[in-house]
Amino acid sequence: MDYKDTYQEWLKNPYFDETTKEELRKIADDDNEIKERFYTDLEFGTAGLRGVIGAGTNRMNVYTVRKATQGLANYIAKVGQKEKGVAIAYDSRRMSPEFADEAALCLGANGIKAYVFESLRPTPELSYAVRKLGCIAGINITASHNPPEYNGYKVYWEDGAQITPPHDTGIMAEVKNVTDYATVKTMDKEAAKEAGLYEVIGKAIDDAYIEELKSQVLHWDAIKEAQKDIKIVYSPLHGTGNIPARRVLKEIGFENVYVVKEQELPDGEFPTVSYPNPEAKEAFELGLKLAKEIDADLVLATDPDADRLGVYVKDTKSGEYISLTGNMSGCLLADYEIGQRKELKGLPEDGALIKTIVTTNMADAIAKAYNIRLIEVLTGFKFIGQQILNFEQSGKGTYLFGFEESYGCLIGTHARDKDAIVATMALAEAAAYYKTKGKTLWDAMIDMYEKYGYYKDDIKSITLKGIEGLEKIQSILETLRNDPPVQIGDYKVISARDYKKDTIKNLETGEVTPTGLPNSNVLYYDLTDDAWLCVRPSGTEPKVKFYYGVKGTSLEDADQKSAALGEKVLEMINAML
């Protein structure tokens, strides 16, 4: 069937409810909208589903959620693990509770018990709950930092990480095999409860999760000494972080935590921001206003599902609040956690710092300074989680810290996804520790630049929506793949990595070696002077991203080099459009 036939099928089939049909009737005269909604099925990718909420096969709705869950249930049955059950969490977005219930009732109808959180919870707590409850999988209904019209469906496996091979491809295949929506199973909620297939969870998991976070504190002494002097502004950006972030800060002793009132309560419309992304400057406008009023030391904001943390720190010399990128805050925490662990306990011989391929080279310098292993993985925190699992299964390797440039890190191994709640706690602790040394977090950042080098990392991206946009994104990747650059701005390309072909080509010698990482549509260029460029399509948005980094001799020099390389990257993009 073409998209018009599928559209008509949804209008006629008694399986689809009247509200859905009424929504579809309203677009009867808009062929382009019908095409966008029905030209394909919303793709179940390696991270699950993510899309605009609405009626249609290419939208997030109760039917696409059920279909995805039926595929997941079929895979769980195939691997013989139905008895373990599935944990389900959701965030503050439109339809999140409804989608969570649809998933739970589909699982129940397939004889798989669902453990459903009583109300919204952070992504890292779902990751924790999967392992705590001994589940085979987890589902989190969230679209992270996407605009309000989006929602999503993330799948986790029994290790608490988002699905990786072979489970990702296995689940994707089962979802694809569900071609008739009417064959998808569901059941009545009360009947599911009576049958023991739907269990509400909450406080017990919350308490255990918070205790796990508190066990990661290194300097209770510093917190006790500085807790009355540290002022923290926090915003959950209308999401899930409000209760757990405030709770953990209070329980470890911080007394002066000021919440941005306008952004405190859950709201899927995200009324104070155009989209709730802690990377965006506008997300901090209200927080910075409050920070200046109370003279705060640091300003923190978590995204709606509380797996990513944005940070501003005060520079006492200028009185200004300085934004820390994900690379900067990640390195600040890595250096603090690893450095203080070394001071207090010593470091294990097999200790490792893990980063993604688009994360700053300062991480490499930190690992080298502490004489620990630096492991590089593909973009996506699940690959960091996979390394932790490898350590556990092999008995070789000790996880010390892991982070990615997109404002996500994990301290401890209680979860297998990035955790902004534990990062909030750790940054507050680090602020207290440095305060006892007469320093701010910004002073600590400057010390790191002096010690490791003035690394500066940035990103350029272009959004290309719709069918034509997806084709253009693939065209850009193929153009670069078939004709790789040999010079980018002032930098010579030393080697070109193609993670789709699993090759690293040394451009000086012509030698080709494998990347050693899984297949991925990503290109990476190692440049002279410790600079680099990486090109990859976004896994969650209709974007192609160009990540790059430089190393300068000072903050000003690094800024200038980064700006110059950024201009050359833009020139390269424009030439391909």
- C-alpha to C-alpha distances, 449 to 152, 339, 387, 441, nearest whole angstrom: 38, 15, 28, 13
Question: What are the backbone angles phi and psi of residue 174, rounded to the nearest 5°?
Answer: -65, -40
Q: CA-CA distance, 375 to 377, in Å (whole number)?
A: 7
CB-neighbour burial class of residue 199 (10 A; exposed 0-12, middle 13-18, buried 19+): middle
The answer to whether the peptide bond before residue 278 is cis (omega within 30 degrees of 0) is: no
Active site residue: 96, 144, 520, 562, which one? 144
User: Taken in order 168, 173, 179, 183, is the CA torsion positive or negative?
Assistant: negative
User: What CA–CA distance (Å, rounded) separates 143 from 50?
Assistant: 6
Cα–Cα distance measured from residue 472 to residue 495, given in angstroms and rounded to the nearest whole number = 25
Write the single-letter amino acid at 507.
L
474-507 in b/e form (b: 16+ CB < 10 A) is: eebbeebeeebbeebbebbbebbbbbeebebbeb
8 Å CB contact between 304 and 144: yes
Dihedral pair phi/psi, residue 548, rounded to 5°: -155, 160
From CA 118, how far away is CA 90, in angstroms rounded?
Answer: 10
Record the tokens describing residue 357, joined without a space. Answer: 């391929």
As a whole number of angstroms, the distance between CA 64 and CA 221 comes to: 51
Q: Catalytic annotation on 394?
A: no
Integer CA distances (angstroms), 465 to 41, 279, 540, 542, in order: 16, 21, 12, 5
Phi, psi at residue 410, to the nearest 5°? -140, 125
Measure the CA–CA gap between 292 and 300, rounded to whole angstroms.
14
Q: Which residue has the tokens 């820390």?
A: 324
Furthest C-alpha separation in the chain: 71
Q: Just list the catalytic residues.
A: 144
